[in-house]
Amino acid sequence: MGICFSRGLRDFVIVSALCAALLFVVTFAARAQEENPLAKDPNAAKLGEFEFRANCAFCHGLGARGGGRGPDLTRAQKKHGNSDAELFRTINEGVPGTAMPQNGATQQGVGMTEEEIWQVISYIRSVQVKTPTQPTGNAVRGKELFSGSAACATCHMIQGKGGRLGPDLTATGSARSIEYIVDSVRNPSRRLAQGISEAMKEFTQEYETVTVVDAGGQKFQGVVLNEDSFTLQMLDTREQLHLFEKDKVRSVEKSRESLMPKYDEKMLPEKDLQDIVAYLLSQGSSK
Ligand code: HEC
Ligand code: HEC
């Protein structure tokens, strides 16, 4: 700031006051549209992940994919703004009136430092999906497919209508990334769905497939609803509920092979899948 040097004492006082004011304005303006100063630091995302696990995963899920109490942060389109500065503000100030706390409100002691917040933002950027956020499909057609030829509704409920074997998909569009949904349809067994609200429980409740042969030799297949040392509750593929006493059956076999059919391109062309994704996303945002 060369212009700020002055010889006379009076001038000096005035000019430095002006300079201070100018500096203040400049820093303030810069702050309002600040970009992540750590954006190019390769270690920032790693450190941020550490912070994230400690302070945020409880609500936003591991991998920031959304948990019982917080939305999926891997979606490119953020409700409270996508810019670095807006993310900073959301994380620092929280979202009043929601469970999203202000920085420092949930941990013991002081909150994250400014640097740590930028690290968390680096981490969020590193897991954020790179695909366009607007679904390219046609939601109206997707709805027809969902309950029509693609038969998703035989196993999945949306807004209270549909089957119960698979998870309710009403909120899936707002809690999951497009990539996650596409992958769930193309490769159901890769990652079994978790009850969304159960995600952070000690025993995660997954949609595990189970096959039980009862004492009379009859075979049942379905998903585990509940289980303890002695009993197993199952919803079979015809949506019949069964309660088995484990010592009274011939066998109980669990598998991580999803009961959901693997929809390949022949069963469900890419365009149809995009329409269904658009339908699921339209559900998510209408809430
Ligand atoms: C107690 C639960 C909870 C914790 C802990 C929490 N959040 Fe949130 N967060 C929420 C909820 C709920 C929302 C959605 C607020 C709303 O309704 O708009 C949210 C929203 C956000 C958003 C805005 C998303 C958007 O679409 O605009 C960001 C970013 C975010 N959280 C980051 C974080 C980070 C980073 C941490 C850890 C430092 C954290 N949150 C800790 C519950 C939580
Ligand atoms: C025969 C029953 C069945 C049919 C038909 C079916 N699903 Fe599924 N689906 C399941 C089950 C069971 C799960 C839970 C296990 C898993 O994750 O694969 C599941 C999981 C999912 C998930 C993951 C949800 C999450 O939160 O992780 C999505 C998304 C999904 N299904 C979408 C669809 C769509 C779209 C269709 C139609 C194209 C469809 N499903 C057809 C049974 C079915």
Distance 84 CA to ligand 1 centre (A): 15
- For residue 94, how far is its CA from the centre of ligand 1 (angstroms)? 7
Q: Phi then psi for 203, rounded to 5 degrees? A: -105, 105
Phi-psi bin for 160: left (phi > 0), alpha (psi -120 to 50), beta?
A: left
Between the CA atoms of 15, 18, 22 and 25, what dihedral angle is there, to the nearest 10 degrees?
Answer: 160
CA 214, CA 234: separation in Å to the nearest integer?
A: 13
d(CA 130, CA 132): 7
Please tell me the number of the ligand nearest to residue 55's CA: 1
CB 130 within 8 A of CB 137: no
**Tens-level pLDDT at each residue, the chain (287 residues):** 444 444 566 666 666 666 565 555 555 444 544 799 998 898 999 999 999 988 898 888 888 888 768 888 988 778 898 899 999 999 999 999 898 999 987 655 568 999 999 999 999 998 887 655 567 899 999 999 999 999 999 999 999 899 989 888 988 887 777 888 999 999 998 877 765 344 444 444 678 899 999 999 999 999 988 888 999 989 999 999 999 999 999 999 998 899 999 999 999 999 999 999 999 988 854 43
d(CA 63, CA 177): 12
**Which ligand has its closest atom nearest to the C-alpha of 263?**
2
Ligand 2 pocket residues where CB is under 6 Å: 150-152, 154-156, 165-167, 169, 172, 176, 181, 184-185, 188, 192-193, 207, 223, 258-261, 263, 268, 276
What whole-number distance in Å separates Cα of residue 129 and Cα of residue 74? 6
Q: Is the CB of 121 under 6 A from ligand 1?
A: no
Out of 83, 95, 113, 174, mutate this one to test ligand 1's pocket (max ligand atoms within 8 Å of CB): namely 95
Closest CA to 210 of 261, 166, 254, 240: 254
Are the C-beta atoms of 175 and 196 separated by less than 8 Å? yes
Residue 287 CA to ligand 1 center (angstroms) comes to: 17
Residue 171 CA to residue 97 CA, distance in Å, equals: 21
d(CA 263, CA 240): 25
> For residues 75 and 135, is the Cβ–Cβ distance under 8 A?
no
Q: Is 90 in the pocket of ligand 1 (CB under 6 A)?
A: yes
pLDDT at 19: 56
Distance 175 CA to ligand 1 centre (A): 12
d(CA 220, CA 15): 86
What was the pLDDT predicted at 228?
Answer: 86
Q: Which ligand is nearest to the CA of 80?
A: 1
**Whole-angstrom distance between the N-terminal and C-terminal Cα of the chain?**
52
